[in-house]
Amino acid sequence: MRQGRLIATGAMLAFCLFALWQSLLLSLTDRLGPGPGFFPFWLALVGIVLAIALLIETAREPRDPPSSESSESSDTRILPHGAGGLRWLAIVVLLAAATAAMSMVGFRIAMLIFNAGLLVALGERRWWAIALFAVLGSFGVYYVFTTWLDVLLPTGWLGI
Amino acid sequence: MEALTHLLQGFAAALSLNYLLFALAGCLLGTLIGVLPGLGPAAGTAILIPLTFNLDATGAIIMLCAIYYGAMYGGTITSVLINVPGEAASVVTCIDGHQMARQGRAGSALGIAAIGSFVGGTLATVALVAVAMPLASLALKFGPAEFFALMVAGLCLVVGLAGSNMLAALLMTAIGLLLAMIGVDPVRGAPRFTFGFEELFDGIGFVPVVMGLFGVAELLLAAEKRQTHMVSAELKSWMPTRQECRQSAGAIGRGTVVGFVLGLIPGVGAIVPTFMAYVLEKRVSKTPERFGKGAIEGVASAETANNAYANASMVPLLALGIPSSPTIAVLMGAFIVNGITPGPFLFKEQPALVWTVIASFFVGNALLLILNLPLVGLWAKLLKVPFSYMCTGILIFCVIGAYSLKQNLFDVWVMLGFGILGYLLRKLDFPLAPAILALILGPMMERSLRTTLEISGGSFAIFLDRPLALALLAVPVIVGGFLLFKPRSLSPLRTSDAE
């Protein structure tokens, strides 16, 4: 946990330093008053001070006690692992793949594959239930939202 | 007295069968839209405007207002049952509402939310009728200095809410404010931190960020823990117990006042009164350690303030023609589409319409209570759905919600990115609430501060000349002092609870 917090705070410090550099490329003041860089500059500066203070505070905390693989609960580990990690990965990868594919194959096809794939990855094995949910959650949802609610959803190269 | 006469005439019209049906349909559709993550009141109201094209102006406005209130309550349902806020104002409800659901008290949480919403909404409408004009004039006296001070005070209270690690909360606030700086500069119109991406010109969308940090992150956490259901609790009753009602009475009263007063101030947004009411309730509670662990007062205060705010925010719209939130701006657009210009002249030129609409607020609130208390059981049945279906279903609506606001797949990527970020930050005990509020308030804070400094020629001494702004700026000092020297009995809220 301590190590994870140090890395996360370090990343936030880097973000604030980057924001400070970017804000300096904008004008801090102009003839009318504060410029576009004024507010982000001061925010980034405050963020840097806070991040450094938090880094020092976290570094002073006692180190995490070493624990065996078996006794370590999932809550104390930062990154996903084991079977839960695979489910985690399935959600992220399938969602990313569906988003990437949506502009090419459209909402219906992308979500049809996403729904079926995710249900299988999360443990569903009844093929008829998977097929029914996948179709309703893609073609059915598309119909309801575009026809009844006038929400525009992506269509692909084939017009589907 | 004149207002009362007009109101009675308004009731006579609002209780006619046609208008009752419009209000009923609006409440049902609004609740349905509100239940869908990401499709909050603003998007829901905008999506459903075409449904009212064939109605007369009064009927159209009644239905859209009912959709607005229904969507506000719909957001509560998802906040309590699956920890996914349907809209920004329901973020606070997640804190205790979802904990209650995990303890098998989802029915009580939804029941008290419906009762609190009804009481808050009704009392706020009574206050609207009685003091609309004088209070609106007072809110008008707020200058940019007061707005800036108010937002600083609001942010400070949120940092106090995540009090286990002040430094982490303050850092998250700074990060949230920096993220809010992405997009076109609100004063000069210059693009900032956009790196040539057109998608970033409007800034990072609040909806994809919230859906990522709360919705996707929650699903990732649940998937890792091998949960078979989002919550394992059973719904034992859809009515809060007598003791729970007693516990919530004070919270409902205070939430009404906070929601109504802040609803009068344009630009505050629905999230500030809910946060403020929650923090106030925690501060006055004799057992603040229960907050974040399923305290019913937490749900009652936030939901009451939310609905009181929703009704009070009609005051600037109807009396002054100023929309005080994105949803009210959508409603204002609907007024204009129907040939009505909201503002001071509305009361003189179309008293029948305006008083019928105000009377319909009472009717809409009553309909929501009548509908939602018995339907609590139906909504709570969502708990029985297996996780694989719930997770897939929520992600479908998250994708639609993130995409539909701007018809942009970039926002779906933003949602996914913030989902992973939210997962990591929650595991590392970084509070998310300050970053969320900072992201909403950032552009308004910047605009207010820069306008103030332009007026004063760059001098911060202007805040010393504005007593109200000075008093509001004293809040951070008081909160900071309280957190530093608080009695030991008031143990700080755990960071995870603040989420």
Q: What is the pLDDT along chain B (499 residues), one digit of tens a residue?
A: 667 888 888 889 889 998 999 999 888 888 777 766 555 676 667 666 666 766 788 888 898 888 888 877 777 877 887 777 766 677 888 888 888 888 878 888 888 888 888 899 889 888 888 776 665 556 566 788 887 887 787 677 667 655 567 889 899 999 999 999 999 888 778 889 988 888 888 888 877 887 788 778 878 888 887 654 455 445 566 678 888 888 889 999 999 999 988 887 655 667 788 888 998 888 888 888 888 888 899 899 999 998 898 888 887 777 766 666 667 766 777 777 777 877 666 777 787 888 888 888 888 888 888 887 777 666 666 556 788 888 898 888 788 878 877 788 999 999 999 999 999 998 998 988 788 778 877 887 898 899 898 888 888 888 888 888 888 788 777 777 766 665 544 444 333 333 3
Cβ-contact B116, B306 below 8 angstroms = no
When scoring B207, B427, B447, B450 by the number of chain A Cβ atoms within 10 A, the one with the most, hence best to mutate, is: B427
- Residue B199 near chain A (CB below 8 Å): no
B392/A46 CB distance under 8 A: no
Q: Quick count: other Cβ atoms within 10 Å of Cβ B71?
A: 31
Q: Which of residues 314-373 of B touch A (CB under 8 A)?
A: none
- Residue A102 near chain B (CB below 8 Å): yes
- Residue A47 near chain B (CB below 8 Å): yes
Is A159 a domain residue?
Answer: no
When scoring A5, A25, A32, A50 by the number of chain B Cβ atoms within 10 A, the one with the most, hence best to mutate, is: A50
Please check whether residues A62 and A113 belong to one and the same domain.
no
Confidence check: pLDDT of A50 > 90: yes
pLDDT digits (tens, 9 = 90+) for A78-96: 788 888 899 999 999 999 9
Q: Which domain holds residue B428?
A: 2-498
Distance CA B30, CA B47 (A): 11
Q: Which of residues 107-146 of A touch B (CB under 8 A)?
A: 111, 114-115, 118-119, 122-124, 133, 137-138, 141, 145
What pLDDT was estimated at residue B485? 63
Residue B322 DSSP code? -
What pLDDT was estimated at residue B202? 83
Q: Which of residues 368-397 of B touch A (CB under 8 A)?
A: 386-389, 391-393, 395-396
Tell me the shortest Cα–Cα distance from A86 to chain B, in angstroms: 8
Please check whether residues A63 and A8 belong to one and the same domain.
yes
Is A155 a domain residue?
Answer: no
Model pTM greater than 0.80? no
Is A157 a domain residue?
Answer: no
Residue at a domain's end among A67, A101, A120: A67
Q: Among candidates B100, B124, B181, B122, which has minimal Cα distance to B380?
A: B100
What pLDDT was estimated at residue A102? 94
Question: Which residues of B58-98 form beta strands (DSSP E)?
Answer: none
What pLDDT was estimated at residue A72? 46
Is A156 a domain residue?
Answer: no
Cβ-contact B404, B127 below 8 angstroms = no
Q: Among candidates B66, B150, B118, which has minimal Cα distance to B256?
A: B118
Please check whether residues A48 and A11 belong to one and the same domain.
yes
Is A58 a domain residue?
Answer: yes
B188/A35 CB distance under 8 A: yes
- Residue B220 near chain A (CB below 8 Å): yes
Is A59 a domain residue?
Answer: yes
What pLDDT was estimated at residue B224? 84
Cβ-contact B256, B124 below 8 angstroms = yes
- Residue B227 near chain A (CB below 8 Å): no
Confidence check: pLDDT of A112 > 70: yes
In this complex, which of B47, B167, B450 lies closest to A151 when CB atoms are compared? B47
Is A100 a domain residue?
Answer: yes
- Residue A52 near chain B (CB below 8 Å): no
Number of domains in chain A: 2
Number of domains in chain B: 1
Is A124 a domain residue?
Answer: yes
CB pairs A-B closer than 8 Å: 172
Q: Which domain holds residue A141?
A: 82-148
A16/B47 CB distance under 8 A: no
What pLDDT was estimated at residue A120? 95
Rg (CA), chain B: 21
